Chains A and B, each alone.
Chain A
């Protein structure tokens, strides 16, 4: 494992007068080619943590701590320099593929603008690069997709476009905030497989934000369990899920297992096999 690409130290986020800290002293590292899952229930601060790495927190939020990318602290970068970091060094995809693409711009426009801006490509070069990326995420007819508008694509297709657009810029890490939550169950697995596959192909690290411990078990290398704005425990997936030291992690695991067990039971009873 190489030295960490992203290193977060003592990150705290507070709102308003600062009495309540939504994120408290969070620290973690992430290397290229590695998948770190931040897992926790909603309100645990995992999404705020990921947004702060992008410096996309709401205006009312105040943030302290260090966020280093390749050894440079981006927490103190002026806004215009941060614009050079976003997309190019860290990409991000969001939970809602239905609303995360601009409805009045073509896919081509939305996929090429980052390439033109960060990589200095011409429009034509950017289009070619975008088409390649769309092929990489499994589109058979990339040129057709490029000409389309978001509403002409399904949710799963849109999320794949989002992934392709983010990865086209070859960022050191990709933040995926609940990338499968809004998708159909059948599509969820495809998108997760795609992320794992692309991670090895593009060599990006992935910061996977999820509430679903099943997703963690399937995809992540390491996991950090968050609750109430703090990281409760962190380690490899085998360590944490195999032998959780914390009560809360155990509870998370237990609830997940119960659900899965009961689902399996029902399937056996009715004899209906779903993929």
Chain B
């Protein structure tokens, strides 16, 4: 009696692991295809430049001799047919070669990779702040649905999505750095991260609060909440264990989305606070029309978004028992 049962449990175990692995592989394939689409799109983008990209790029340069322009055209592969150029570009990118910056003559991949840790640390700090503020606010609103606290949170939330992040950043800078002198205005030290991180966190906590609220309201209407109450549990336990846990699992699924939006807002915020991340590098490249750099930025940025949302999907698979073992 003991042995067959154990065998069955073991077999279930391995079946679950295999299924999980299969799901992860499938998700990774989707992620790879997404990145591929982005690479091709960014390869195509250079051809939507009105007029001749080389002329546009070298417009501000004093070394814009016909020879130099021809040389650059060849270097960028612009003398080939479009489909070949895009194919060549994609091929190079897949090998980790994002080309050379026109302004600094350095490897685009190198330049971007150097700044990636800065960008990542700011994004994660912003996300943590957004979650730390947004989830409790959403919880408060859902539990007091229709009452004053709910209305207050929803007002904050709609204000939050209506305030441009860069403007909020400027205001925080004005108050906390210039008026009160508590925090540095710009730079890349650990004290410098506080203001930009809070700017991002405060901007995107509204989104998190709304998602938390709607997820929790949905859960609170479930039969199993009534069951938990009928069991005589303390209301605190009903809310924190029976309601918040399933709600958090569904919130995890949208964290990837919040992260993508946060990264998008961050491009501007890095410029407001002179934070040395890829967003600042990218805007500089955009102003200088350093096309390989811009393409590289798009690819690196898109890949980060795709990888994060893939990781979150996989994390969701581990968190939700319905996904974990089926």
Contacts and interface: CB of A to CB of B under 8 A. Distances in A.
Asked if A and B touch directly (CB within 8 angstroms), the answer is: yes
B232 to A, nearest CB: 3
A101 B222 CA distance: 9
B32 interface: no
Contact of A144 (B5, B223, B249, B320): B5
Contact of A100 (B5, B9, B224, B246): B224
Interface string A86-104: 1110011010100111111
Interface in A86-127: 86-88, 91-92, 94, 96, 99-106, 113-114, 117-118
Interface residues of B, number: 27
Contact of A56 (B9, B229, B234, B320): B229
A141 B1 CA distance: 11
B321 A114 contact: no
B321 A103 contact: yes
A85 interface: yes
Given A56-B226, A101-B227, A103-B224, A83 B249 contact: no
Contacts of A162: 227
B15 interface: no
A86 B232 contact: yes
B226 to A, nearest CB: 6
19 contacts: A54-B229, A56-B229, A83-B235, A85-B232, A87-B233, A88-B232, A92-B230, A99-B223, A100-B223, A100-B224, A101-B227, A103-B321, A105-B245, A113-B241, A117-B237, A144-B9, A149-B321, A149-B322, A151-B322
Given A56-B229, A84-B232, 11 more contacts: A86-B232, A94-B226, A100-B224, A100-B227, A104-B322, A105-B241, A114-B233, A117-B231, A117-B233, A149-B321, A149-B322
A117 B235 CA distance: 12
A-B pairs, 7 with minimum CB distance: A87-B232, A86-B232, A149-B321, A99-B223, A92-B230, A102-B224, A87-B231
A167 B233 CA distance: 15
A274 interface: no
A151 B321 contact: yes
Contacts, number: 90
Contact of B223 (A91, A96, A106): A96
Interface string B34-47: 00000000000000
A271 interface: no
B325 interface: yes
A54 B230 contact: yes
Interface residues of A, number: 35
Contacts of B321: 103-104, 106, 149, 151
Contacts of A114: 231-233
A169 to B, nearest CB: 8
A interface, over-half SS? mixed
B179 interface: no
Contacts of A91: 230-231
B326 A151 contact: yes
A99 B226 CA distance: 10
Given A101-B224, A101-B227, A117 B246 contact: no
Contacts of A79: 235
B242 interface: yes
Contacts of B233: 83, 87, 113-114, 117
Given A96-B223, A113-B237, A102 B232 contact: no
Interface string B1-36: 000010001000000000000000000000000000
Interface string A138-174: 0001001000010110000000001001100100000
Contacts of A113: 231, 233, 237, 241
A102 B244 CA distance: 11
B228 interface: yes
A101 B227 CA distance: 7
